[in-house]
Amino acid sequence: MIGLLFWAILVGFAGYTIIRVVPTVVEYRAIRSAIDRIAASPPSTVAGVRAAFDRQTEIEQLITSITGKDLTITKENEKVVIAFAYDKEIELVAPVFLVIKYEGRSK
């Protein structure tokens, strides 16, 4: 009986962790999608890229972790490359936190 209780607690904690992490993964995928759309037809200036990303965050209410100011915009082989990186801190049980480091760049 104690073994069954142990496994129930372990599976319950894993399920709780997954439920807390999935929204951050969905947000990351929304950011990647927005970045790829902007990079496919980039505005002519860095400020234009940042403004386009900010417009995307207004459209997609999922994106709350970063803004246009957090983007790194470079040019490689005559292509605009947009990169981002951020940390997401998820409180599991006080004072235990799970820190996920997300980063990505346009295709």
> What are 20-56's pLDDT values in tens digits?
999 999 999 999 999 999 988 877 788 889 999 999 8
Report, as an integer, the average pLDDT of 72-85: 89
Report the 3 state secondary structure along the chain.
Answer: CHHHHHHHHHHHHHHHHHHHHHHHHHHHHHHHHHHHHHHHCCCCCHHHHHHHHHHHHHHCCCCCCCCHHHCEEEEECCEEEEEEEEEEEEEEECCEEEEEEEEEECC
pLDDT tens digit string along 63-78? 989 998 999 998 888 8
